[in-house]
Amino acid sequence: MENRLLISCGILQPEIEVLIHSGKIDAEAVYLNKFLHMNQKKLRTVLKAVLSRYRQRNPVVVYGELCLGFKGEMLALMEGALRTLKGTEVEKIY
């Protein structure tokens, strides 16, 4: 069985790596460029492509609230994700 897959904003990489390396979560992580939230169109394109690539692994998407749009515009892309978490909730998935 494969590890759980997290797709995350790169800004959260240090915290997620600590959780992975300490054994608190058993996961593999894919980090997207932390500056993508500055261009919602580009974020949408990249996130859609990554979700499509890993859909069969039922990824958990980990992003800050504002990264996904001030009005939650990007939440529609999360249909292929197991669930979407705020960065502070990552440890709760286990």
23: left (phi > 0), else alpha (psi -120 to 50), else beta? Answer: left
- Along the 94 residues of the chain, how does pLDDT read in single tens digits? 568 899 998 988 999 999 999 998 899 999 999 898 788 788 889 988 998 999 888 888 887 766 666 666 666 666 555 454 555 555 554 4
Backbone angles phi, psi at 25, to 5 degrees: -135, 145
Give the global pTM. Answer: 0.74
d(CA 86, CA 63): 6
Tell me how crowded residue 59 is: count the other CB atoms within 10 A of its CB: 26
**3-state SS, residue 60:** strand
Q: What is the DSSP letter of 81?
A: S
